[in-house]
Amino acid sequence: MFSLLQRGQQVSNQAISALSYIAFAIIALFLAQLHFDNAYNLPSQIANIETSTNIRYSYSAGSTSAKGKENSKIKFDIDTDLSSLFNWNTKQVFVYLTATYPGKSPESSNRVTYWDKIITDPKDAKLSLKSVRGKYSVYDREFSFRERNATLALEWNIQPWIGPLVFGTLEGGQGFSFSKPEKPRK
Amino acid sequence: MTWKGLSIVTNAESPIVVVLTGSMEPAFQRGDLLFLWNRNARNAVGDVVVYNIEGKPIPIVHRVLREHHNDKKQFLLTKGDNNPVDDLGLYKRKQQYLDKDKDIMGTVYGYMPRVGYVTILITENQYFKFGLLGLLALSSLFQRE
């Protein structure tokens, strides 16, 4: 005789193995479609980068002493089309603008986010932004950015309805240099 | 058994977690299941990580906003997509960054919606919990061996 428990177990076992096959198929199709839509080699244009640096003294601006901390902000134009990141399994695209710059030693490196955007509707996937200010005031672990060179790049993350999180970087990265801090107002 | 095995393979104490708050909406909602991986030496900016602050009971799932690393260590600043500010205020007093080795419990690589809501119901809704326990008790009474 089959007990209720055994039957329940059999049903759930069937369900679990069926679900895992379906999940596997969904993931494979999703990744294949992104590949064929050329999602990993999308172009972007980042232009008219203006940077400014000032010294701030609040804890939320990274300052832990009376010396303060250099904070960097940027302004930029962006032109890109992220439509091919949207398919039947895309719940949202998180697109973010990062700057990468070297640290003190050759093994060290830093990457910071200046701006990001959540796109949930494929109609909003074409980005054409003029003179946008970054969302974040960025500081380093060191006191100063020391006018180093940095590379700006647009990166994306697809949040699926189900399955793996997918990441990529758009082509068309741009270099810039951190500006000298402005003299504090007296 | 499977859980322990998965835990060893992923090197994460809990390889599957349930989202409890809305700070990463609309990406993650309450009750969604997240699959974690913790064998990466470093995290990239944009990764969604689960971290635990000493003395705080609930792990937090947020996105990496900045990373600073050298050959030995990596420091991360995180932020919830749906939060207006970064997580500086969530960390310990005077803690400015998360330490990749010490604080990060895992990186999210997979997602399944809603399934984890059962655990929220069990832990937060006593009627559901007792109802479920009652059903189990009844079924054990009525089944024939």
Same domain, B78 and B141: no
Q: Which two tokens stand for residue A134?
A: 């970054």
Residues of B in contact with A4 (CB under 8 A): 139, 142-143
Assess contact for B8 and B64: CB atoms under 8 A: no
Give B54's pLDDT tier (boundaries 50, 70, 90): confident
pLDDT tens for each residue of B90-123: 999 999 999 999 999 999 999 999 888 888 888 8
Q: Which of A23, A107, A110 sits opposite B71 (nearest CB)?
A: A107
What pLDDT is stored for residue B2 in this prediction?
81
Residues of A in contact with B48 (CB under 8 A): 165
What does the alpha-carbon distance between residue B89 and residue A37 come to, in Å, rounded to a whole number? Answer: 41
Same domain, B48 and B59: yes
What pLDDT is stored for residue A2 in this prediction?
67
Under 8 Å CB pairs connecting chains A and B tally to: 96
Residue A185 lies in a domain: no
- Among residues A182, A76, A89, which one has the least CA distance to residue A135? A76
| B115 or A139, which is more confident | A139
So what's the ipTM on this one?
0.90
What pTM value is reported for the model? 0.90
Same domain, B108 and B120: no
Q: How many domains does chain B have?
A: 2
What pLDDT is stored for residue B139 in this prediction?
81
Residue A133 lies in a domain: yes
Q: What percent of chain A has a predicted confidence (pLDDT) above 70? A: 97
Q: What percent of chain A has a predicted confidence (pLDDT) above 90? A: 89
Q: Which of A104, A118, A164 sits opposite B109 (nearest CB)?
A: A164
Q: How many CB atoms lie within 10 A of CB A180?
A: 14
What pLDDT is stored for residue A5 in this prediction?
77
Same domain, B93 and B142: no
pLDDT tens for each residue of A81-97: 999 999 999 999 999 99
- Say whether B63 and A94 touch across the interface (CB within 8 A): yes
Same domain, B29 and B93: yes
- Say whether B88 and A59 touch across the interface (CB within 8 A): yes
Residue A77 has pLDDT above 80, yes or no: yes
- Among residues B99, B22, B93, which one has the least CA distance to residue B61? B22
- Cα dist. A71→A112, B55, B69, B101 in Å? 12, 31, 19, 27
Same domain, B48 and B105: yes
What does the alpha-carbon distance between residue A163 and residue B34 come to, in Å, rounded to a whole number? Answer: 10
- Say whether B144 and A1 touch across the interface (CB within 8 A): yes
| A1 or A65, which is more confident | A65
Residues of A in contact with B93 (CB under 8 A): none
Domain range for A6: 1-36
Residues of B in contact with A64 (CB under 8 A): 94, 96
Assess contact for A167 and A147: CB atoms under 8 A: no
| A86 or B57, which is more confident | A86
Residue A141 lies in a domain: yes
As a whole number, mean pLDDT of residues B24-31 equals 93
pLDDT tens for each residue of B64-83: 999 999 999 999 999 999 99
What does the alpha-carbon distance between residue A121 and residue A161 come to, in Å, rounded to a whole number? Answer: 14
Domain range for B133: 116-145
Same domain, A120 and A142: yes
Task: Please state at what angle helix B117-124 crosses helix B126-142, rounded to 10 degrees.
Answer: 100
Q: Which of B45, B63, B94 sits opposite A98 (nearest CB)?
A: B45
CATH number of the domain to which B55 belongs = 2.10.109.10
Residue B145 has pLDDT above 70, yes or no: no
As a whole number, mean pLDDT of residues A116-135 equals 96
Q: How many domains does chain A have?
A: 2
Chain A: which residues have CB within 8 Å of chain B?
A: 1, 3-5, 23, 59-60, 62, 64, 91-92, 94, 96, 98, 103-105, 107-113, 116, 118, 120, 136, 138, 140-141, 155, 157, 159-165, 167
Query: What contacts B43, CB < 8 A, 6 or more positions away?
Result: B49, B64, B67, B74, B76, B100, B104, B107
As a whole number, mean pLDDT of residues A34-44 equals 94
Same domain, A5 and A90: no
Same domain, A50 and A29: no
